[in-house]
């Protein structure tokens, strides 16, 4: 009983327009879901179900500098995942209210340090991706792909506050969305420890950089002028991947099954 | 202005009891946040702020088999992250209602394939950790650590539905919470491709396994008998890490800075 009832209540309200938009996003993003071939079916089923929570939520354009400063300051409260999400969600509470007020940001704090310090997905990308999804729904998929690529391929942190809490020299390209690699490359370049004020401020600035980037993408999307840039297709590689095979495999990259 | 207002509204309502529980959780978990030394300060500040969304949400004990079957079926709708979260959240909608009804599960779909197919954090662990956090608040921290370790060190998938949608033989130990490694080791063992029905059912069963595990932990916690098991301390290693250094570094593991 629980399963049956459950599966009719766990869907957001999705319009035909959303469905068509989502199909475009999949074509543009080309990511994992498309490999299985059921995404459109799943979405078609979802579109028939009016029950469940409102989704996505109304988005109001925000000043990317404001988003970045909210994220920067909130890193010092609850770290990266909470901070990056707050850079988008807190301004939406001010400007839109409604469902944005009901979302407990603390439920994203666990993303810190790549999930409670495990060094996996950078927490900025976890919290930031939730914020993108809440604002843009299916349209958020290419934005998340773009965010992952931009994070990995850009000299970071991009954002510097006017009054930083610590000073450091190094910017680094992580080549990866993983916390361990991103933090490790910066620590090696700067010669500072995990617990140093400099490393902490680097992560706070990176969190701010992510919220800044998200605000620019969502603002463009709200204006109807967002253009996805990520073009890799994981399905072509035959496995879910961050596209830097030789980084771990060296020259011995396995062939697709 | 926005920052100042923001930082007073982005906190959950946290009681003194939660604060004390949280301190215990940090001592037990020993993860990233503790390295910086400001977690207790951040929590103390949060405890003074009554504004913001309700957090955590009331949890009602659930049958782990039911949680697993909700997750299994929902994998076939919206994949791993959505599925694992739904295994906990959908039954709470039935039993508790209230804020659980407001949470849009679709906002977690992006976790599929380790975030839109990038192969980072297994989506089950992303969606599952959000569900733990919503239910247990700060007490969820050791559960997330335990979940990450159990996921990585156990022959998976543990859960098998009575009527599986596909049949396969292999169970594998990932040694990692990363999707790419977890999926890749299983694909190699079973000799099946990413797009195969077998690989898809393996991930659906793993999603069900994660929801089952979370339900058992939350039920024990609700009964006051949950005992954390994860004892590693990332701060001792000097970097955020999944504790399998030689897996990528070989014998050339860097020294802490």
The interface predicted TM-score (ipTM) is 0.83
Contact A104, B52 (CB under 8 A): yes
B171-185: burial string, b at 16+ Cβ within 10 Å, e else: bbebebbbbbbbbbb
- Residue written as tokens 């944005």? A100
Is the CB of residue A116 less than 8 Å away from at least one CB of chain B?
yes
Q: Which of residues 224-243 of A touch B (CB under 8 A)?
A: 234-235, 238-243
Instruction: For residues B165 and B148, give the distance between their C-alpha atoms in angstroms, rounded to a whole number.
Output: 26
**Rounded CA separation A121/B145 (Å):** 15
CA-based nearest distance A243→chain B, Å: 8
Question: Does the CA dihedral A39-A42-A48-A53 come out positive or negative?
Answer: negative
Residue B58 vs residues A144, B55, B92, B133: alpha-carbon distances, Å: 31, 9, 9, 11
Q: CB of A117 within 8 A of CB of B129? A: no
**Closest CA relative to residue B106, chosen from A95, A146, A140:** A140
Supply φ then ψ for residue A178, to 5 degrees.
-90, 135
pTM equals: 0.83
- Are the CB atoms for B100 and B92 separated by under 8 Å? yes
Q: Which of residues 129-168 of A touch B (CB under 8 A)?
A: 129-130, 132-134, 137, 140-141, 144-145, 148
- A185 touching chain B per CB within 8 A: no
Using an 8 Å Cβ cutoff, are A234 and B118 in contact? yes
Closest Cβ–Cβ partner in B38, B99, B177 for A118? B177
In A, which residues are within 8 Å of B63 by CB distance?
2
A20 has a chain B CB within 8 A of its CB: no
pLDDT in tens, A192-234: 999 999 999 999 999 999 999 999 999 999 999 999 999 888 7
Q: What does each of the 257 residues of chain B score in pLDDT, given as a tens digit?
A: 333 333 333 443 333 333 333 333 333 333 333 333 333 323 333 333 324 688 999 999 999 999 999 999 999 999 999 999 999 999 999 999 999 999 999 999 999 999 999 999 999 999 999 999 999 999 999 999 999 999 999 999 999 999 999 999 999 999 999 999 999 999 999 999 999 999 999 999 999 999 999 999 999 999 999 999 998 887 789 999 998 888 888 888 998 88
Specify the residue for token string 């361990």: A180
Residue A63 with chain B: CB contacts under 8 Å: 2
Is B108 an 8 Å CB contact of chain A? yes
End-to-end CA distance of chain B: 39
Instruction: Collect all residues of chain A within an 8 Å Cβ-Cβ radius of residue B35.
Output: 117, 194-195
Contacts of B119 in chain A (CB under 8 A): 234, 239-242
For testing contact with chain B, the best of A239, A244, A245, A252 (most B CBs within 10 A): A239
Count Cβ atoms below 10 Å from residue A173 Cβ, excluding itself.
14
Helix%, strand%, coil% for chain A, nearest 5: 60, 0, 35
Could you give the CA distance from residue B245 to residue B253 in angstroms, rounded to a whole number? 6
B12 in contact with A, Cβ within 8 Å: yes
**Which residues, at least 6 apart from B172, have a Cβ–Cβ distance to it below 8 Å?**
B155, B156, B182, B185, B186, B189
Angstrom distance (rounded) from CA B128 to CA B134: 10
CA A81 to centroid of chain Cα atoms:
9
In contact, B187 and B181? CB cutoff 8 Å: no
What is the tens place of the pLDDT at every residue in A77-94? 999 999 999 999 999 999
Contact in structure between A123 and A79 (CB atoms under 8 Å)? yes
Number of cross-chain residue pairs from A and B with Cβ atoms under 8 Å apart: 345
């Amino acid at each position: 009983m629980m399963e049956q009832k459950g599966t009719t209540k766990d869907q957001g309200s999705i319009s035909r327009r959303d469905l068509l938009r989502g199909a475009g996003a999949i074509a543009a993003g080309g990511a994992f879901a498309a490999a299985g071939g059921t995404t459109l079916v799943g979405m078609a089923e979802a579109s028939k179900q009016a029950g469940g929570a409102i989704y996505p939520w109304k988005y109001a354009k925000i000043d990317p500098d404001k988003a970045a400063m909210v994220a920067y300051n909130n890193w010092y409260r609850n770290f990266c995942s909470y901070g990056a999400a707050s850079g988008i969600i807190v301004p939406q509470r001010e400007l839109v209210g409604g469902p944005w007020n009901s979302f407990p940001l603390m439920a994203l704090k666990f993303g810190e340090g790549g999930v409670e310090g495990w060094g996996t997905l950078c927490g900025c990308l976890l919290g930031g991706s939730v914020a993108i999804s809440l604002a843009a729904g299916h349209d958020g998929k290419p934005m998340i792909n773009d965010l992952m690529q931009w994070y990995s391929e850009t000299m970071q942190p991009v954002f510097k506050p006017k009054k930083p809490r610590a000073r450091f020299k190094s910017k680094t390209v992580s080549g990866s969305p993983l916390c361990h690699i991103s933090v490790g490359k910066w620590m090696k370049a700067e010669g500072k420890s995990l617990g140093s004020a400099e490393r902490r401020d680097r992560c706070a600035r990176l969190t701010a950089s992510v919220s800044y980037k998200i605000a620019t993408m969502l603002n463009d999307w709200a204006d109807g002028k967002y253009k996805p840039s990520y073009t890799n297709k994981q399905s072509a590689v035959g496995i879910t991947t961050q596209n830097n095979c030789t980084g771990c495999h060296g020259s011995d990259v396995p062939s697709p099954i």
